[in-house]
């Protein structure tokens, strides 16, 4: 039987131990500067003159690390052309890239240090997605995304293992969020939930760096994650496949998308693409969770559409 005890220690040990030399190439996404959600997020990303700041992409504005994580993350997420990892659950690991990059910018980190921290976040997100059925139980992706961002940010901030333990607890316990974000008619928030997880993870790491302690036994406590979200069943989200696959899969996928479109609208290179959005994510799961809550109202397509002026608005980095 797998030992699921002390999962916090396993996550922190992994987050501290990844080296750049362990990693393959990484692909990232960037788009949608003028999207409505991006404009909203930028209006809230007020300029700051302090050292604890990072740039809002596409501008000269410097704002707080948390605001940069959210505003830049919303731009990455809006067009829904970012990466995806679907196994037991589903997740979009690149939602957390902008938050990690904001901390790397603040710290003046090298490209190698940034990519190693990014790999920490990808691994944590993808391993939890492989093993822990949060979505089935009605909990949303940023539950683990906030943890992943906190660990990556904490690594860049140079936190001790003890401080990383507190960052993990401060990321997950205050920020449990439900799957209602992706049920029924989709709102603007659906594309903002992941970036908000990144925002919370960055803030958790900053708090821990200043000496803030977090709740002890975040997973195994009487009101910890396992008891509150999964009926007391523990999982070992720290054990799964090795580092390479979740990260390396992004680049071949993007190359295939350049050659052909899966959008169903006959995309040709250089033309505008308009993709009909799905009315809801995973409707069977939503019906299962709402069968005792009265009939579901009729589904309507969301107002957020997938639009792009280029076949794949991804920048490929090494």
* Residue pair 78/193 in contact by the 8 Å Cβ criterion: no
Segment 60-118, tens digit of pLDDT? 899 999 999 999 999 988 887 778 888 888 899 989 999 999 999 999 999 999 999 99
Q: Evaluate whether residue 118 is within a structural domain.
A: yes
Mean pLDDT in residue range 132-140: 94
Q: Show Cβ contacts of residue 296 under 8 Å, excluding neighbours closer than 6 positions.
A: 184, 286, 287, 290
Q: Evaluate whether residue 102 is within a structural domain.
A: yes
Q: Evaluate whether residue 26 is within a structural domain.
A: yes
Q: What CA–CA distance (Å, rounded) separates 102 from 118?
A: 12
pLDDT of residue 170: 98
Q: Is 94 helix (H, G, I), strand (E, B) or coil?
A: helix
For residue 5, name the pLDDT band (cuts at 50, 70, 90).
low
Residue percentage of the chain with pLDDT more than 90: 54
Mean pLDDT in residue range 28-56: 85
Q: Evaluate whether residue 311 is within a structural domain.
A: no
H or E element, residue 69: helix 65-77
Indicate whether 212 pLDDT > 90: yes
* Domain count along the chain: 1
**CA proximity to 30, closest of 70, 71, 76, 73:** 76
Which range has the top average pLDDT, 25-34, 68-77, 85-94, 199-208?
Answer: 199-208
* Residue pair 114/104 in contact by the 8 Å Cβ criterion: yes
62: domain CATH number?
A: 1.10.4100.10
Domain that holds residue 33: 7-254
Q: Evaluate whether residue 266 is within a structural domain.
A: no
Q: Evaluate whether residue 52 is within a structural domain.
A: yes
Q: What is the mean pLDDT of the chain?
A: 76
Segment 154-197, tens digit of pLDDT? 999 999 999 999 999 999 999 999 999 999 999 999 999 999 99
Length of the chain: 318
Mean pLDDT in residue range 125-137: 94
Which range has the worst mean pLDDT, 29-38, 124-133, 171-180, 217-226? 29-38
Q: Evaluate whether residue 287 is within a structural domain.
A: no
Indicate whether 248 pLDDT > 70: no
The residue that leads in pLDDT, 286 or 16, is 16
Q: What CA–CA distance (Å, rounded) separates 300 from 306?
A: 16
Measured at the CA of 67, the angle between CA 63 and CA 68, to 5 degrees, comes to 70
Question: Partners of 47 in the beta sheet?
Answer: none
Q: Evaluate whether residue 264 is within a structural domain.
A: no
**CA proximity to 219, closest of 236, 202, 205:** 236
* DSSP 8-state symbol, 189: G
pLDDT of residue 9: 84
For residue 59, name the pLDDT band (cuts at 50, 70, 90).
confident
For residue 263, name the pLDDT band (cuts at 50, 70, 90).
very low
pTM, rounded to two decimals: 0.72
State in Å, rounded, how far the first CA of the chain is from the last one.
39
């Amino acid at each position: 039987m797998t030992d699921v005890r002390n999962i916090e220690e396993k996550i922190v040990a992994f987050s501290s131990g990844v080296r750049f030399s362990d990693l393959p190439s990484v692909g990232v996404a960037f788009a949608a500067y003028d999207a409505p959600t991006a404009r909203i997020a930028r209006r809230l990303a007020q300029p700051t003159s302090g050292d604890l700041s990072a740039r809002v992409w596409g501008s000269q504005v410097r704002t707080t690390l948390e605001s940069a994580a959210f505003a830049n993350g919303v731009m990455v997420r809006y067009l829904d052309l970012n990466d995806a990892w679907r196994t037991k659950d589903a997740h979009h690991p690149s939602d957390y890239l902008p938050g990690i990059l904001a901390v790397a910018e603040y710290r003046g980190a090298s490209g190698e240090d940034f990519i190693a921290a990014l790999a920490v976040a990808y691994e944590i997100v993808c391993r939890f997605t492989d093993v822990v059925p949060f979505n089935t139980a009605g909990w949303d992706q940023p539950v683990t995304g906030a943890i992943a961002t906190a660990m990556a940010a904490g690594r860049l901030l140079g936190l001790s293992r003890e401080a990383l333990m507190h960052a993990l607890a401060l990321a997950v316990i205050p920020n449990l969020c439900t799957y209602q974000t992706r049920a029924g008619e989709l709102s603007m928030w659906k594309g903002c939930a992941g970036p908000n997880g990144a925002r919370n993870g960055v803030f958790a790491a900053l708090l821990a760096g200043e000496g803030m302690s977090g709740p002890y036994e975040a997973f195994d406590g009487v009101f910890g994650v396992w008891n509150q979200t999964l009926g007391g069943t523990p999982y070992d989200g720290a054990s799964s496949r090795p580092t390479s696959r979740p990260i390396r899969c992004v680049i071949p996928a993007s190359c295939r998308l350049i050659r052909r479109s899966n959008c169903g609208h006959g995309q040709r290179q250089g033309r505008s693409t308009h993709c009909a959005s799905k009315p809801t994510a995973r409707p069977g799961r939503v019906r299962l969770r709402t069968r005792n809550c009265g009939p579901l109202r009729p589904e309507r397509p969301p107002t957020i559409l997938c639009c792009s002026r280029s076949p794949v608005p991804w920048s490929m980095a090494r």
